[in-house]
Structure 1
């Protein structure tokens, strides 16, 4: 009995599927974006209008959660990509093409107010959706995992720091206070990466991308992610103004935001927690996955921390650790 024919290479499968799904036997594909995970996105070439093929290879990526959250968000009025054809067994989806540039690529100092006002509108719709129980909760376990990323990957693996007892105590105290603050906040549906890079400037919109990791979590998480982005920096005074604008609109919409002073503190602390986590993720992408370009933005997060930590004496242990151990280690590494 002859052996079964081996599966064609993934790029061949992808092109064959795209041609069949679109009914265009001569179209081509070109990469549309690079993802930090195993998903990839490809734009069709040779047909009008163009489409996007999402490639989620079975065994390493499951498109099912993405589809379930997409449907949930659409039902709540959030602008998300339209799905034209799907094949979950092969791991391919054919999506509408929302265009080339993301919000991160078109926003500037002059247009930021208008773009962020539109983004807040989408965020308020997202946060008004009741989170289904199967999405999980941004709770103690997830916060502990996020905290571990900073110490394991950024401090130990990337900077080569071995913390002594005093350093470990300072970091643990700060992380515990950050986690307690996050756990005490009102809970809503949280995107977890609601930033300009994951927003597409279309009308109506912006359209929201990369939403498959939604959970039930702290209300301040997504607003601070939007204004203190991994790849774009803004003056602190403008960020504070946008956070106030979000708070007013969220309050008017009936979302469970606390009083303004409490919310601004929560946003600061949530931002600190997120910045530490992202430093760990960027270091992991570099050392484990060979995706080193993310580390170029690490100084941005140290800058965010430098801006905010002086406002909050209860986070002084973290500020001391950064000044005495982390910054000298980063400088030494940069000099190598």
Structure 2
């Protein structure tokens, strides 16, 4: 048993779970690890968010905010934030991703409908006390594409012009947009389907206050699974019917779609090149496809022109060629 495992065991003992069986759970793209603590009559999830790479405090704060608004985030059973350890309610193993992948179209539509309704409910709540999703954050995230993808492709691109194009596009965002809690990673692998029919939320520690369209993009232009354009359109219409957004929601959806997809392409290359996680490049073609669709919106013209001038179409990974063209 290494030093970190000893710290985890001491935490479990102090929380009253010292006799539990400990089973590892497949983690995510971060430094966090997860374990299921199993006893005959109860079970819980232990999050190991080791400092200094991770800080569980934002997760704890947002979880308490969400549950306070009547949404289903895991209950915090125990926490030692300084040690990076949190004991959570166990939502089980039934994720939205696997459920909809194995289901028929009717079930898929019903599950997505419920996820849209959860967003509408969240957006009707007072925003959480978290930082703003401001211009600097949008630019920093969009810049991950030039920093990682373009570098990996060996492309010498106009980085300053890229930022300038994004400034022009972000200027088209409607200032009348409401400011809501944006979970930022709201997709089928972070939504649990609960026994009572509810949907449990995960991976929201990076929440910011921003435009309502962002989490719809996360869900409906999912980097990890295909969402049919017809279902995407139907769910956007359902959200409109529920939330009645009184601003230029269509422009916001495509601008934030392009911004998020550019960011994800950069992040996925970074996870591959820097963190040696080879599964992520396999998802990049799907993200490029969504990005190309967003770039067709008239508000994205400056960014679309930059792409045309700097990244040839054959290098936009349309067939998943990225992973085969150069080694780690």
TM range (shorter): 0.7 to 0.9
CA distance in 2, matches of 1:297, 1:104: 15
Partner of residue 15 from structure 1, selected from 2, 9, 34: 9
Q: Secondary structure at the match of 1:89?
A: helix
Matched, 1:179 2:170: yes
Matched, 1:85 2:71: no
Partner of residue 305 from structure 1, selected from 252, 270, 291: 291
Q: Are the equivalent residues in 1 in contact too, given 2:139–2:163 (CA < 8 A)?
A: no
Q: Are the equivalent residues in 1 in contact too, given 2:169–2:302 (CA < 8 A)?
A: no
Q: Secondary structure at the match of 1:69?
A: helix
> Looking at CA atoms only, which structure, 1 or 2, has the larger radius of gyration?
1
Matched, 1:117 2:113: yes
1:71-82 map, 5 Å: 71-82=64-75
Greater Cα offset, 52-61 or 316-325: 316-325
TM-superposed CA distance for 1:225, in Å, is 1.2
CA distance in 1, matches of 2:173, 2:144: 17
TM-superposed CA distance for 1:293, in Å, is 1.4
CA distance in 2, matches of 1:335, 1:183: 41
Deviations 1:56-106 (A, max 9, x none): 113222111111111111111111111222222322221121111321121
4+ aligned runs moved over 4 Å, structure 1: 330-333
Unpaired segments of 5 or more residues in structure 1? 1-6, 252-256
RMSD: 2.5
The 3 A distance-change label for structure 1 pair 174 and 125 is same
TM-score when normalising by structure 2: 0.87
- Higher helix content, 1 or 2: 1
Partner of residue 100 from structure 2, selected from 74, 95, 107: 107
TM-superposed CA distance for 1:306, in Å, is 2.8
Unpaired segments of 5 or more residues in structure 2? none
TM-score when normalising by structure 1: 0.85
Equivalent residue number for residue 126 of structure 1: 122
TM-superposed CA distance for 1:16, in Å, is 4.2
1:86-235 map, 5 Å: 86-108=79-101, 109-133=105-129, 135-156=130-151, 158-163=152-157, 169=161, 171-182=162-173, 184=175, 185-202=177-194, 203-235=196-228
CA distance in 1, matches of 2:7, 2:308: 48
Equivalent residue number for residue 38 of structure 1: 31
CA distance in 2, matches of 1:132, 1:110: 34
CA distance in 1, matches of 2:109, 2:279: 29
Q: Are the equivalent residues in 2 in contact too, given 1:29–1:44 (CA < 8 A)?
A: yes
1:184-333 map, 5 Å: 184=175, 185-202=177-194, 203-251=196-244, 257-258=245-246, 262-312=248-298, 314-315=300-301, 317-318=303-304, 321=307, 325-329=311-315, 333=322
Greater Cα offset, 271-280 or 204-213: 204-213
The 3 A distance-change label for structure 1 pair 74 and 317 is closer
The 3 A distance-change label for structure 1 pair 30 and 235 is same
Q: Secondary structure at the match of 1:292?
A: coil
